[in-house]
Chain A
Amino acid sequence: IQLTQSPSSLSASVGDRVTITCRASQGISSYLAWYQQQPGKAPKLLIYAASTLQSGVPSRFSGSGSGTDFTLTISSLQPEDFATYYCQQLNSYPLTFGGGTKVEIK
């Protein structure tokens, strides 16, 4: 199952609303997770089951979708949110990741 993330990069300002999309090549129900990766660090889980916020993750992050189309939204971008974001499908093997979306400072 291929995951296509868009955009591959974006520039935004602090306080902006940011939306990242992830499209699966076939239906994956809600077996989708989102991760944030800061430079030089391991990925960190943000959202699982497409829309469940991981404990400790700020509520400005939200996820939606099911089937083939998914969205990660950051309601008000904060300085610590500048990072690369990946979606991952866990519906079936081989598991796959999207290509990533790099969120940069405008």
Chain B
Amino acid sequence: EVQLVESGGGLVQPGGSLRLSCVGSEFTFSSYSMSWARQAPGKGLEWVSAISGSGGSTYYADSVKGRFTISRDNSKNTLYLQMNSLRAEDTAIYYCAKFNGASSSRWFDPWGQGTLVTVSS
């Protein structure tokens, strides 16, 4: 069964940094784009970032551009999200997702269980 497991969340002060990790298993990790999405407490889903299978192409939401960096280590089947200059509004559950695609369709499946990031002094 394809599985994604996130880690690295926690409490951080405003202006601080945190690195999230997402380990994938039971699929050829390097063949798939991957993505991060987040959900603030009691709010809807927000897409954060995506990266191609090789890592050569990256994409960001305007809300995190210049502060967050997505990367991957295909030898370790691991996706990362480096988060700098964190703000209170970055408080959320962060999910990683496998980004699937075919000739005329794309979708996120599966999603990890999520890791909570709390930005507060």
Contacts and interface: CB of A to CB of B under 8 A. Distances in A.
A90 interface: yes
Contacts of B61: 94
B25 to A, nearest CB: 16
B44 A31 contact: no
Main SS at interface, chain B: strand
B62 to A, nearest CB: 7
Interface residues of B, number: 25
Contacts of B50: 93, 95
B105 A100 contact: no
Main SS at interface, chain A: loop
A100 B45 CA distance: 8
Nearest to A96: B47
A74 interface: no
Interface of B: 35, 37, 44-47, 50, 59-62, 95, 100, 102, 104-114
Given A33-B108, A43-B108, 15 more contacts: A31-B106, A33-B107, A42-B95, A45-B109, A48-B107, A90-B106, A93-B59, A94-B59, A95-B35, A95-B50, A95-B59, A97-B46, A98-B44, A99-B44, A100-B45
